[in-house]
Structure 1
Amino acid sequence: MRLRYAALSDVGRVRRDNQDSGYAGPHLLVIADGVGGSARGDVASAETVEVLRRLDEPPGNDVLGALAGAIHLSHDRIAQLVAEDSELEGTSTTVTALVFDGQRIGVGHVGDSRGYLLRDGTLSQLTTDHTFVQSLVDEGRITEDEARVHPHRNLILRAVDGVHEPEPDVFTLEVALGDRILLCSDGASGSLTDAQLARILAEGSPDHAAVTLVTSALEAGSSDNVTVVVADLVGDDEVDDEETSAAALTGPMLVGAAAEGARARSPRGSAAGGRVRDTGELAPVGDGHDGSASAGGGRGAGDGADLDPEEARYAPQPPRRFGLLRRSLVLLVLLVAVAVIAVAAYRWSQDQYYVGDDGETVAVFRGIEADIPGLTTHRVEEPSSLRLDDLPDAYAREVTNGISASSLADARTIVARLERRALCPDPTSSASPSASPSGTASGTASPSASPSRTPGSTSTRTPGSTGSRTASPSASPSSSASTGTTGAPCTEAP
């Protein structure tokens, strides 16, 4: 397939300067709408087209990469121009560009110029406006009809300005024989409805459609520059008829501010490398003060402001509706989330228990052992009569540091063990060191009975002996050990 195209630009009936630029060639279609008013938006649009027109050749494999790269190069070019001339500060441009490889089309888009596709009588919009009112439409706050007359309809959120990265939308489009493509500045799309665009595009050749679109937009009251590029997808071997052959032979078409810039650079006063189509010679029908130019709700009409809306059109930081309310709601949601988490954490902490010291005594605490300003994280659940001084030093230190318990019952068990330990200071001994061992008599043993003789027994006397008898006295030694309950206090540790 190949493109059969036409391009046309008109300064309009209110503006003194044409800040739109357009280009149409065998492989490239471009619309750029300059923004900035006195900041010379025509320079931005013309330079952008000048950079992009280098893509008008059989594209390589990376069509979208080439498109995005060219838009970024135009961004760099504008930045360079502003650095060289401070009077250009604030200039910018929209851009919508299509690159055709014979089968598919790559699209790059920034701003509110538009691309449309007419297929089998049905018109569809290819691009999405980067505007404040479009964001309201996307959010369902206003309708498309309300967007046409919205007081902030002039505000665009993205443009090629040499300051902010342009972030273009890039995508591919499958096309077929018989498709018709329209690129236009908002001077046309803001004045004509989709139904009117579809009706005009459905008739005649690209050249006829371009002229009719511009004329219809002006008659509808457009107060802006109007620029259109129309192209048909035709067979590569299709022969142009008499009406289209002249356009086919002229090669690329350059219109609007880009054509004026080309004329200025050309020594012969004609556009270099492209045919110029600007209908600025059409007679104006109003001067912008009698209301005749505001009938269609065009840009800058009926706002009642002294400032030209074109100068305030590009706003990287547009005003937000209900901004304070939205921020307040976000803050409220965050506060509620934090409060819910805090309450859940506090409730969890109050289901915890540990054994610690309450001054000089041991007690069961409920909560967690932490110090948070303004918040009580623990309290005494059950006091006890056990004093820290009654415990061995090692156990006293454990209590001071806090002994975790899995439940209240577990905490009570720990306290009971500590009380038993208090009765046994030395965990390695089960009796007091002062206890006398069994079998060691203290004092004089007294025999359990008088010695008695039994038959067969003998009494032996040894010379010099005192006559003592051999007897087995049963001594009952008295023990001084006192242990209380045998072994119980000293067999368990907390």
Structure 2
Amino acid sequence: MSEASAVPVTLAVGARTDTGRKRAGNEDSYLAVAPAFVVADGMGGHDAGDRASVAVVAAFRSKVPEGPRTSIDAVRTALALADTEVSRLAASTARGAGSTVAGVALIEHEGLPCWLVFNVGDSRVYRQLGTDLQQITVDHSLGQELVDGGSLRPDQLRDFAQRNVITRAIGAADSAADSWLLPVTTGERLLICSDGLTGEVSDEAIRATLTMTGRAESAADALVKRALDAGGRDNVTVVVIDVVAGGSPAVGEEPTGERLGAPSTESTIDATTLPVRVVR
């Protein structure tokens, strides 16, 4: 183990989930214990959606033990188990079942602590450094495909009537995860959230809330409150992570992505391959 990797990463974490103002039950689940932080948004209606998101979180609890670090292999295994369990659940229900997932995991890469960021579906991971907010993950959704294809402007996405139609999900025919590597940076703040937040609150409002709130717990509370005040039409779940110490110093540069492998073309998650982009 290198000298750099021996330095512990100190985190402050806040998490909150709420049923919202319109739904009878909460189909979101989350995990907020190092080294893995995950938000899952279940689909399939009452009971099935709830059970799908719980199965995703249970897979991470089972395959990513608590501790200071984990590995890419452990995350691959957790995603594969989640897909297996949700697929089994979907086959047992008349309406089927599925779940989105977004999350980060602390790993070591080239002797330095890094975040492995991953997602399937339209739950998201954001990174804030100073007053700048960047969405790291890319939604697997019909709306995002139209934006990528030039048929829809990014500023039209929040008002797009079919924005909730997702193109990948855990337990679905296409459940391939995308992933990125980011160096852990002291002073950064990460946000993992379900679309119950982003469907109600703009990125600018999210940025302002994260900037104006101090503690991670206060930020999580404030974000959920904003979603509820805006209508709360869906379940809303947020996990806020502050890197207090142990990361690299901030360099003040805008992160850029580099693809290190082609996305999987398999219809289900392949536990042996997880395409990773490096964000520097």
- TM-score computed with the length of structure 2 as normaliser: 0.78
**In 1, Cα distance between the equivalents of 2:69 and 2:84?**
22
Alignment of 1:126 with 2:132, yes or no, is no
Determine the C-alpha separation between the residues in 2 that align with 1:213 and 1:185: 12
User: 1:204 and 2:204 equivalent?
Assistant: no
CA drift of 1:89 comes to: 4.7
CA RMSD of aligned residues (A): 1.9
Letter in 2 for 1:10: D
Q: Alignment identity in percent? A: 37
Match of 1:28 in 2: 36
Aligned pair count?
A: 233
Structure 1 residues 137 and 210: CA distance shift in structure 2, 3 A = same
Q: Counterpart amino acid of 1:46?
A: V
> Do the aligned partners of 1:96 and 1:113 also contact (CA within 8 Å) in 2?
yes
Find the partner of 2:52 among 33, 44, 54: 44
1:334-483 matched pairs, under 5 angstroms: none
1:152 to 162, 176, 186: 162
Give yes or no for the alignment of 1:220 onto 2:234: no
Match of 1:101 among 99, 107, 126: 107
Equivalent of residue 185 in structure 1, options 194, 199, 205? 194
Please give the per-residue CA displacement for 1:24-64, whole angstroms capped at 9, x wherever unaligned. Answer: 1121110000112246211000110011123133445xx33
The corresponding residue for 1:169 is 178
Which structure has the higher relative contact order (CA within 8 Å, separation 6+)? 2
Give the ranges of 4+ consecutive aligned residues of structure 1 lying more than 6 Å apart after TM superposition.
Answer: none
Q: Residue 68 of structure 1 contacts residue 170 of structure 1 at CA under 8 Å; is this kept in 2? A: no
1:277-297 per-residue CA deviation (whole Å, 9 max, x = no partner) reads xxxxxxxxxxxxxxxxxxxxx
* Contact map agreement 1:94 1:110 (CA 8 A) in 2: yes
**Partner secondary structure for residue 34 of structure 1:** strand
| Partner SS for 1:94 | strand
Distance 2:25 2:47 in 1: 12
Shift of 1:200: 0.7
CA distance in 2, matches of 1:90, 1:79: 9
Residues 131 and 158, structure 1, Cα contact 8 Å, conserved in 2: yes
Gaps of 5+ in 2: 1-8, 248-266, 268-280
Structure 1 residue aligned with 2:84: 76
**Aligned equivalent of 1:447:** none
Residue aligned with 1:15, SS: coil
Question: Residues 220 and 42 of structure 1: is their aligned pair in 2 closer, same or farther, counting only changes over 3 Å?
Answer: same
Q: Distance in 1 between matches of 2:244 and 2:69?
A: 19
> In 1, distance between residues paired with 2:228 and 2:126?
20
Q: Which amino acid aligns with 1:209?
A: A
Q: Distance in 2 between matches of 1:46 and 1:39?
A: 10
* Higher CA-based Rg: 1
SS at match of 1:221: coil
Q: TM-score, normalised by structure 1?
A: 0.45
Instruction: Give, in angstroms, the shift of residue 170 of structure 1.
Output: 1.8
Secondary structure of the equivalent of 2:207? helix
* Higher percent of residues as strand: 2
